[in-house]
A and B are shown apart, each in its own frame.
Chain A
């Protein structure tokens, strides 16, 4: 690929042929305001906030769609541009309620960011909402159309990255909005609830339902880890408050997944809080009786465990000390009586590398057999 040189705000910049001015500017630390540009998506040129002045061009140009040319000289900030941007934001907020005080996007909203930056606190136009639908027909995503600024990032991400094509523009002009086909509920559309649209939405139009009313952005601590589901190994950023997860998202340049996740990674973490989590070591009542921990004899019913619910009353809680002693006794007895090959260990494709390592080391070193496996094949 050939390199070309241009100047942006007087700074000489080298870039690959075919790069847009926006991309080149961002890569060089020059932040051109934008509401519809996204690095992974084709430019749509809808918001016009990214207009720049190019030497020898008679008109202002949208930098997100403007391809760099050798010798081009671009100015991203001057009075004309500032006035233009103020007017654009003014127009946006003539159709977007400035409910920032109670808004769940407060602190993470791009429109708010630019309104603040350009000091627009109310519209000079007649305020009129074009659309007021509030769609919460599923447990994952809340879609509040009054906050939509029609940047179409959601539509593009759903098409260009996810390939689901679940949503598109509907209606015309002022009354156009983003919708599922024929406004059917999201669950009946081709939506796969990956939440990528939520991830790229710059405003409060698309929000994770888990987040609504749960706190403001700046109150949340962010912790990044790896998704526990499939082998893709996406990075997930959890927003937490008071030791609880509020919602999950990805982040730009996550090593494997960039900004994207699937429904399980983004929305499927709430199992951790379920009341039927195991919280203490348990010993089954027949063994407890054998060991003299209870006086009541008991037997495991013959009914298959695939029928009916899990029964906690088949067990007695014990301390970690007791539990590990019992396990050690039983394993040691087996090895002494029948030899190491009468023991088997199943390690786990859901445990960490470190855990798998010491588990197999235990089986090989302490017990003395190679009978350790996991469900890689299953």
Chain B
């Protein structure tokens, strides 16, 4: 996130797109509720009538993948109607003219025609967001109390934007909108990605990516690479980009990759096209999985290593607002399970010895997590000022380059990291797989409140399993009618990759032509249906949020599920 979570409660306008905030980031949604209760406007742009829509001023409900029309049209309107923050644009950005050209053709009327959403609503969304208009009450911000009375608007987005074959473009587009309204570098503004997992931010920050070293230092930057190499007692490091998750499984299938070490992940449920993933993993010469349970991926492993859960160890997590916070062990790990860092610390020197690498004594002997953090601070400029002593209490928000730096809750204040903020013209691009006669519906996937990711933990929680024991698919009554499907009946969802059977919830939460399936349940693995052929060209993210499917009746009636989900 460019801004911190607490600022959301003081926003004047909140624009949520591609984030089912109440279910995927519940406590963050409380901030949104608090803002709305104080008079903030809330715009929700989402193909489903997700629970937060209850609190929205405006819900724009395009088909999955059609949001791009709306973003472009909003930009068109902001420019056409003069809702621009001109001083911001002239002082802090570049390439505005180029961008202006690129949205000229996308009138609200055209977007309305393409998406079925009334032009008036698109205009309203553009005005509310760009001008940060409230529904009642006054802004707490002084700069909003004088002409042109521009409030502070914030954008929240999640996987509904990034898990798309044009995800990078869409993120640029949100940044474009923010720059048009000057909604960056101030409190309660920003373009804020909500990260899904407890430490996904930290895993990225610390180099768990094939293209960057810790602190986002590109592996292709020779100078940065050498600096890190020296800190690690080497002369250089591999310069060639590594493979991403999806590329790794593809390479395992073709036999290019022979051995894989999986720590705390479950690609068998989380990756697209899991049928492929399974045959790829089976094709490996050696698979080692380190986890807390014998999850679906571990069941294909040659060696399984028992790890401690986060409740059983110390260390630190970095949350979605870039706040680094300390963990404390609450209980002891069961049996011989060990914290992951100790397992890596035991294997690494053995591998090095076998490969004949000569390392100083104790090279992999870290006495504690705190000691690893000391090294992180030396190697990772954005964590340069971080130490365990400083993390006690409130933690620290990176960038925190030096031991006396207080952290940076708001990014881009006064200046962007690259100097001027650049407007990126974005092209119209629709999901790679479009519905056709054979597969007439668009499937979109996501989470439900009571489960988390592949369900390894939540499905073993008695309460969570009680309330949400089974997966389900949301189907609009119009599409259900077509195949004689009733609420709570069983249905097959069929895509070009495979089929999945599950229970239907017939509801207008999804528009006609769209079905929604969550991916937590191995009995109904959504990712047997999703595709991995169209990855975003830059981020290499698979398009989970839109693929073509059809429904087939199973003629079986079911018993109604207890809870209708969150709201």
Q: Which residues of A contact B (CB under 8 A)?
A: 138-140, 160-164, 187-188, 190, 192-194, 209, 223-235, 238, 240, 243-245, 255-257, 260-265, 267-272, 274, 276-284, 286-287, 300, 304-306, 310-312, 314-315, 320, 323-332, 334-338, 340-378
- Tell me the minimal C-beta distance from B41 to chain A in angstroms: 15
Q: From A314, A344, A362, A365, name the one whose CB has the most chain B CB atoms within 10 angstroms.
A: A344
Contacts beyond the supplied A209-B463, A278-B335, A375-B245: 5 A-B pairs with Cβ under 8 Å: A163-B29, A256-B319, A270-B463, A340-B238, A373-B243
For B466, what are the chain A residues with a Cβ–Cβ distance below 8 Å?
A: 138-139
Q: Is B462 an interface residue (CB 8 A)?
A: yes
Q: A334-B258, A352-B313 are in contact. Are A231 and B195 (CB under 8 A)?
A: yes
- B306-337 CB contact bits vs A (8 Å, 1 = yes)? 11011111111111110111111111101111
Q: Does B474 count as interface, using CB distance less than 8 angstroms?
A: no
Interface pair A331/B199, CB less than 8 Å apart: no
CA distance A283 to B352 in the complex (A): 22
Which residues of the other chain, B, contact A377 by a CB distance below 8 angstroms?
162-163, 244-245, 539-542
Residues of B in contact, count (CB < 8 Å): 173
- How distant is the Cα of A326 from the Cα of B355 in the complex, in angstroms? 14
Q: Which residues of A contact B467 (CB under 8 A)?
A: 138-139, 187, 193
Stretch in contact with the other chain, from B20-28, B173-181, B426-434, B504-512? B20-28
Query: A-side binding surface: helix, strand, loop or mixed?
Result: mixed
Inter-chain contacts of B302 with A (CB < 8 A): 283-284, 286-287, 330
B354: which A residues are within 8 A, CB to CB? 328-329, 332
6 residue pairs from A and B, CB less than 8 Å apart: A271-B460, A278-B305, A311-B299, A334-B259, A335-B351, A378-B270
Nearest CB in chain A: distance from B539 CB, A: 6
Inside 8 A of A312's CB, which chain B residues have their CB?
A: 294
A255 contacts B325, C-beta separation under 8 Å: yes
Stretch at the interface among B30-38, B100-108, B115-123, B486-494: B30-38
Contact present for B320 and A231 (CB under 8 Å): yes
Contact at B214–A357, with CB atoms within 8 Å? yes
Judge whether B344 is part of the interface by a CB distance below 8 angstroms: yes
Q: Are B294 and A278 in contact (CB under 8 A)?
A: yes
A59 to B153, CA, bound (A): 44
Complex: A161 Cα to B544 Cα, angstroms:
31
Contacts of A230 in B (CB 8 A): 24-26, 196-198, 452
- CB pair B350 A325 closer than 8 Å: yes
Q: Which of B36, B278, B309, B340 interacts with A306 by CB under 8 Å?
A: B278
In the complex the two chains form, is B325's CB within 8 Å of A235's CB? yes
State whether B350 touches A355 (Cβ < 8 A).
no
**Do B285 and A334 have beta carbons less than 8 Å apart?**
yes
> Contact: B263 with A347, CB < 8 Å?
yes
**Segment at the interface with A among B78-86, B87-95, B201-209, B435-443:** B201-209
Q: Which residue of the partner chain, among A320, A350, A354, contacts B198 with CB atoms under 8 Å?
A: A350
CB distance from A243 to the nearest CB of B (A): 6
Binds A, one of B69-77, B365-373, B414-422: B365-373
A373 close to B310 (CB less than 8 A): no
By the criterion CB–CB under 8 Å, are B341 and A225 in contact?
no
Shortest Cβ distance from residue A339 to the other chain B in the assembled complex, whole angstroms: 10
B475 within 8 A of A: no
Residue ID in chain A nearest B376 by CB atoms: A357
Tell me whether A269 and B311 are in contact in the complex, defined as CB-CB below 8 angstroms, given that A238-B330, A305-B300, A370-B241 are known contacts: yes
In the complex, what distance in Å separates the CA atom of A230 from the CA atom of B350? 34
Q: A306-B274, A352-B199, A352-B317 are in contact. Are A370 and B219 (CB under 8 A)?
A: yes
From B22, B37, B272, B317, contact of A353 by CB (8 A)? B317
9 smallest CB-CB distances across A and B, nearest first, come from: A279-B335, A233-B319, A352-B315, A370-B242, A348-B264, A262-B26, A328-B350, A332-B354, A231-B195
* B22 & A276 in contact (Cβ 8 Å cutoff): no
- Chain B residues positioned under 8 Å from A286 (CB to CB): 302
Q: Is B362 an interface residue (CB 8 A)?
A: no
Bound-state CA distance A172–B461 (Å) is: 39
Do residues B337 and A361 form an inter-chain contact, with CB atoms below 8 A? no
Which of B10-18, B57-65, B548-556, B559-567 faces chain A?
Answer: B559-567
Question: In the docked arrangement, what's the CA distance between A55 and B292, Å?
Answer: 64
A360 to B213, CA, bound (A): 8
Selected contact of A351 from candidates B209, B264, B522, CB within 8 Å: B264
| Contacting pair A271 B286 (CB below 8 A) | no
